[in-house]
């Protein structure tokens, strides 16, 4: 099983939103095989708690504009690892130290990476 086309479209929306707020090391994993509840995990790194929260706000705004409904949010109060669940797409925004510590890429290493075209760099102003 592979991620649906809609999940891939939303992944691009979320990745571009994260990139617009200087999200780093953006990786999309197709988790549709081992997980029946989601198609894609999008992993993003922020440089500080403030940056993590700014990335989350932008991702959520753009995903809602694209018609995705946020089902669950966790970790916003700490700003270290925020999970945004949009059903088929789950966005994980990490502070860089937490990204290294939890190493989700290693945990999900058997899942294929989905190439994400970030397009033209976006001016965050």
Q: Is residue 12 part of a domain?
A: yes
Q: Is residue 9 part of a domain?
A: yes
pLDDT 10s digits, 30-83: 999 898 889 999 999 999 999 999 999 999 999 999 999 999 999 988 889 999
Task: Give the CATH number of the domain where residue 70 resides.
Answer: 3.30.460.10
Q: Is residue 124 part of a domain?
A: no
Helices (H), 39-95: 49-65
Question: Does the global pTM surpass 0.85?
Answer: yes
32 sits in which H/E element: none
- Residues of the domain holding 26: 5-114
Number of domains present in the structure of the chain: 1
Q: Is residue 16 part of a domain?
A: yes
pLDDT 10s digits, 72-102: 999 988 889 999 999 999 999 999 999 999 9
Question: Strands of 40-46's sheet, edge to edge?
Answer: 72-74, 81-85, 89-95, 40-46, 24-30, 113-114
As a whole number of angstroms, the distance between CA 79 and CA 93 comes to 9
Q: Is residue 125 part of a domain?
A: no
């Amino acid at each position: 099983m592979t991620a649906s086309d809609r999940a891939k479209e939303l992944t691009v929306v979320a990745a571009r939103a994260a990139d617009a707020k200087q999200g780093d090391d953006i990786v999309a994993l197709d988790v549709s095989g081992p997980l029946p509840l989601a198609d894609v995990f999008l992993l993003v790194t922020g440089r500080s708690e403030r940056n993590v929260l700014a990335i989350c706000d932008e991702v959520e705004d753009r995903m809602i504009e694209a018609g995705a409904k946020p089902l669950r949010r966790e970790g916003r109060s700490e700003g270290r690892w925020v999970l945004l669940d949009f059903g088929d797409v789950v966005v994980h925004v990490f502070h860089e130290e937490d990204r290294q510590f939890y190493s989700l890429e290693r945990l999900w290493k058997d899942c294929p990476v989905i190439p994400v075209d970030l397009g033209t760099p976006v001016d965050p102003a």
